[in-house]
Amino acid sequence: MKRGYKIAVIRGDGIGPEIISEGEKVLEAVSELEGFELEWREYPHGAEHYLATGELIGEDTLTELEQCDAIYFGSIGDPRVETGVLEQGILLAMRFYFDQYVNLRPVKLLEGVRTPLAGKGPEDIDFTVVRENTEDFYVGIGGRAKGKGKKREELEIVRELYHIKFGLDIESDADELAYQIGVVTREGCARVMRFAFELAREKGKKKVTSVDKANVLTYGYGFWREIFTEVARGYPEIDTEFNFVDAICMWLVKNPEWYQVVVTPNMFGDIITDLGAMIQGGLGLAPGANINPDGVSMFEPIHGSAPKYKGKGVSNPIATVWAGAMLLETVGEKRASERVLGAIESVLRAGKVRTYDLGGTSKTSEVGDAIVREVKGQD
């Protein structure tokens, strides 16, 4: 019997549908050549669906998605919906529900792509960011308080913090405040760190860098450091180092060649991977994989929905196609995955078919077609 995989597809908002179509096209082509089948299951979630039905993503859908081998995700975000609603209600909801605790983001400058970093080339920019994906400031604990007697229980917590920290009585001394709490757990840190070390081992990398801000956020990231030191003991052949998050932003621009595998708490990982996307040639080229090694993983470009470009057919589909290659690798189709990445590389190296962000005039679908031709041409 043929190998087969059920892939849930959430096209989402803005340019999501058009870039996902190219990804599907490429994955279909490679599946035929490599002798496996993809069964696509469409889900309508996103702004349109939310505005029409009020559903973000419900328990029923999540249970259904659980039956799939992977989720292929376009992008969400729409000017008609208040910022944060779709992001938290759909994207983060899935990351948390499926416990996709690793957000894997390769930062690799492919040949034929220009980096804004002067004097740096593909041999200098090739590392992987392993971003923790279910903890830290993303846990959604926080609140706002104003005046007297509002939101009793929350006010109790804040009152206590306020009192311990400043010796003030919030009800009489503070008029309005907001707080947001980050949480990191021992196992939450350890598991993503183990993943980073295992990845380094598997790919023959020599060093893992840990990112934090332990000089100021001493409780949370002091804890993170302690755990990193413990986990690192299990991998004596791999070198380690600590970088503060502000410092790594500087070094990634100055000396990206220092980095091989970078493991980071969620919030800092969000920030440094946008920086990473730019040094690898732009957001149009940056894929991400939300991974639960024992469960359902989700693959997406790291860019957003770019509403301005919706329906124009000009957006770069490469980040999404690359995310598709990561999907194939994760379900066990390594050869197919390598073929797709190889085809992306050939198209970029040749430089003839490229979208506006890379200085070209090609349409989204022309880039998809060119990658398909390359995938077939390797036969």
Binding site for ligand IPM (CB under 6 A): 87, 91-92, 270, 302
**Shortest distance (Å) from residue 91 CB to ligand IPM:** 5
Closest CB to Mn ion among residues 77, 368:
77
Nearby residues of 204 by Cβ (< 8 Å), 6 or more positions away: none
132 binds, among ligand IPM, Mn ion, none (CB under 5 to 8 A by kind): none
Q: Kindly tell me which of 92 and 217 has the beta carbon lying closer to ligand IPM.
A: 92
Phi, psi angle pair for 202, to nearest 5°: -60, -40
Instruction: Give which of ligand IPM, Mn ion, none residue 91 binds (C-beta under 5 to 8 Å, depending on kind).
Output: ligand IPM
Q: What is the CA radius of gyration of the chain?
A: 22
- Judged on CB neighbours under 10 Å (0-12, 13-18, 19+), 352 is exposed
Task: Give whole-number Cα distances, 288 to 73, 119, 226, 276, 301, in Å.
Answer: 10, 26, 27, 12, 6
CB of 290 to Mn ion, least distance (A): 12
The residue number whose beta carbon is nearest to Mn ion equals 270
Residue 43 parent element (H or E):
strand 36-43
Taking the complex as a whole, how short is the minimal distance between the CB of residue 273 and Mn ion, in angstroms? 6
* The pair of three-digit structure tokens given for residue 66, joined into one six-digit string: 């659980």
Query: Side chain identity at 137, as an amino acid letter?
Result: F
Per-residue x/- marks for Mn ion, 4-33, CB under 5 A?
------------------------------
Cβ nearer to ligand IPM, comparing 31 with 320: 320
**Which entry of ligand IPM, Mn ion, none binds 87, CB below 5 to 8 A by partner kind?**
ligand IPM
Q: Which is nearer to Mn ion, 13 or 270 (CB)?
A: 270
Q: Give the integer Cα–Cα distance in Å for 21 and 291.
A: 22
Distance CA(63)–CA(75), nearest Å, equals 21
Q: Which is nearer to ligand IPM, 31 or 75 (CB)?
A: 75
φ, ψ of residue 159 in degrees (nearest 5): -60, -45
The site partner of 124 among Mn ion, ligand IPM, none (C-beta below 5 to 8 Å per kind) is none
Binding residues for Mn ion restricted to 251-290, rule: CB under 5 A: 270
Residue 319 DSSP SS3? helix
Shortest separation between residue 137's beta carbon and ligand IPM, angstroms: 10
SS3 42: strand
The option from ligand IPM, Mn ion, none interacting with 18 (CB < 5 to 8 A, set by class) reads: none
Q: Which of 273, 265, 269, 272 is nearest to 221 (CA)?
A: 265
Q: Are 34 and 331 in contact (CB under 8 A)?
A: no
Q: Which partner from the list ligand IPM, Mn ion, none does 92 bind, CB cut-off 5 to 8 Å by kind? A: ligand IPM
Q: Which is nearer to ligand IPM, 38 or 71 (CB)?
A: 71
Question: Residue 161 binds which entry of Mn ion, ligand IPM, none, with Cβ cut-offs from 5 to 8 Å by kind?
Answer: none
Torsion angle in degrees (nearest 10) through CA of 325, 326, 328, 333: 100
Q: Compare residues 77 and 317 and give the one whose CB is closer to ligand IPM.
A: 77
- Least distance (Å) from ligand IPM to the CB of residue 299? 12
Taking a C-beta distance cutoff of 8 angstroms, is the pair 280, 268 a contact?
A: no
Which of ligand IPM, Mn ion, none binds 136 (CB below 5-8 Å, type-dependent)? none
For 294, half-sphere exposure in the C-beta direction (CA atoms, 13 angstrom radius) is 3
Least distance in angstroms from the C-beta of 213 to ligand IPM: 17
Q: Which is nearer to Mn ion, 270 or 333 (CB)?
A: 270
Query: To the nearest whole angstrom, how small is the minimum distance from the Cβ of residue 129 to Mn ion?
Result: 11
The end-to-end CA distance of the chain, in Å, is: 22
β-strands 297-301, 287-291 pairing: antiparallel
48 to 107, contacts with Mn ion by CB under 5 A? none
Binding site for Mn ion (CB under 5 A): 270
